[in-house]
Chains A and B, each alone.
Chain A
């Protein structure tokens, strides 16, 4: 579904991503794990068109994404839940969700999707008229996820959904990611919480200073000694 081949990204003189190649098949959860600054977020931002890669190829269902402006991606079926949630704090919860469906014209479908996200996130339903900035961290993550779902994506890119959340909430968010995936949405998940990410993903890539150092099925990586030592806190 999504293929990234030989991706190189520079920030000025800094070579942030070295020849990154990943592949995401339809229906999968694929995770990119790695430490801070490994290039996980940069990879997602390059896919979304928020940073321009120096070289490399990104194709989505066979069409190249190079030169496609970021605001067209959601029309192609790719939704991006950015790092730090990036909800519109000055708008109400309802307005945030409406913006998620900004380019959709099918009124009935939008209505059904409102019901769907309120069903998934009942807490948001209680707070539709509240300013999004007044929500707690967990609720904001839910809003960011719900907002992305409102575009009815075929593929969802999630950047560190567990950031800054209590363990119980992290579990809740990951359960929701699994649910989203079961309803047919492909997920590309970037995480620092390697254990949680590997336990729900099908395939995984390990990034270190802008390079892919390991890849394989999530199950294999979960039991790989090098990964256990470096990312799962076991020595």
Chain B
């Protein structure tokens, strides 16, 4: 197993974590909520993709788009019915509500909609292994990486180049001052949930293609790791989430390859603890003062 091979595997894995982590960090940036239901939106994305392909027989791109749109709507709906009425409540109330939303999605899917058993994600592309010297890379990995990169570029464009993005950054910095500029913050919060959720939905489909077994609890572990990625990069900092996602993906792949498969998760979590001891605000986060 060559080093470059592991690098490629790690990047493919990391890009998925990055896509999910972005949603955690964006929502946190705007309403200071760790949205625990986010991991389950990722799971829902995989299932929407699954049904799009198995029931409606659409190819990859429409399936991906359907998953993204479906998750965007789901994310906005959850925000409107569960989080918005609590915006002025203590943060712990919001956090517990997010956990409840997560459980509702997981168990709703497992008991009512699809049942608890894993389902095989349909093969959208015939897996083709390409040999580049000693390194082998398959077409699904290439597609996943390219889709992730394109989505991240689009996200960067929206956040840093558009008027909506400017309003998002302003709202995230100071919600009250943003209102005084005439920014309708309810819309901005909705848009933030929509974007974050659609990226998680895309990740769901991409993971379905890489590891073709999906079930209602598939969001737990990747969700947790993406959350760690967001914290590691500095929660609320967009480039931090992407960087953290890639880092976690690489770490996980390298520990699995060179140290221990069993301990790889433990090592990833220990890494978080160690980094947070030295940089409590995350790698790219700035230490914040508590507002009074």
Contacts and interface: CB of A to CB of B under 8 A. Distances in A.
A91 B167 contact: no
Given A98-B166, A99-B166, A99-B167, A89 B173 contact: yes
Contacts of A50: 176, 179-180
A90 B284 CA distance: 14
Interface in A77-113: 79-80, 82, 86-91, 95, 98-100, 102-103
A70 B180 contact: yes
Interface string A166-191: 00000000000000000000000000
Contacts of A70: 176, 179-180
B123 interface: no
B156 interface: no
Interface in B179-199: 179-185
Nearest to A49: B179
A48 interface: yes
Contacts of B129: none
A54 B176 CA distance: 20
Contacts of B176: 50, 70, 82, 86
A69 interface: yes
A69 B176 CA distance: 11
Nearest to A157: B180
Given A99-B167, A102-B167, A91 B173 contact: yes
Contacts of B184: 69, 71
Contacts of A102: 163, 167, 181-183
B180 A88 contact: no
Nearest to A104: B182
B166 A74 contact: no
B177 A71 contact: no
A61 interface: no
B173 A71 contact: no
Contacts of A72: 182
Interface residues of A, number: 26
A100 B173 contact: no
B182 to A, nearest CB: 4
B218 to A, nearest CB: 35
Interface string A108-133: 00000000000000000000000000
- How many of chain B's residues touch chain A, expressed as a range? 10 to 19
A72 B182 CA distance: 6
A81 B287 CA distance: 27
Contacts of A103: 182
Nearest to A99: B181
A155 to B, nearest CB: 13
B210 interface: no
B177 A100 contact: no
A95 B166 contact: yes
Contact of A74 (B163, B173, B181, B185): B181
A88 B182 CA distance: 14
Contacts of B180: 48, 50, 70-71, 73-74, 79-80, 82, 86
A91 B170 contact: yes
B177 A88 contact: yes
A71 B182 CA distance: 4
Given A82-B177, A88-B177, A71 B185 contact: yes
Contacts of A91: 166, 169-170, 173
A75 interface: yes
Contacts of A151: 181-182
Given A98-B166, A147-B181, 4 more contacts: A69-B184, A87-B177, A102-B163, A102-B182
Interface of A: 48, 50, 69-75, 79-80, 82, 86-91, 95, 98-100, 102-103, 147, 151
Interface of B: 163, 166-167, 169-170, 173-174, 176-185
Q: Please name the 8 residue pairs, one residue from A and one from B, whose CB atoms are nearest each other, closest first.
A: A74-B182, A86-B177, A70-B179, A103-B182, A71-B179, A99-B181, A80-B180, A88-B170
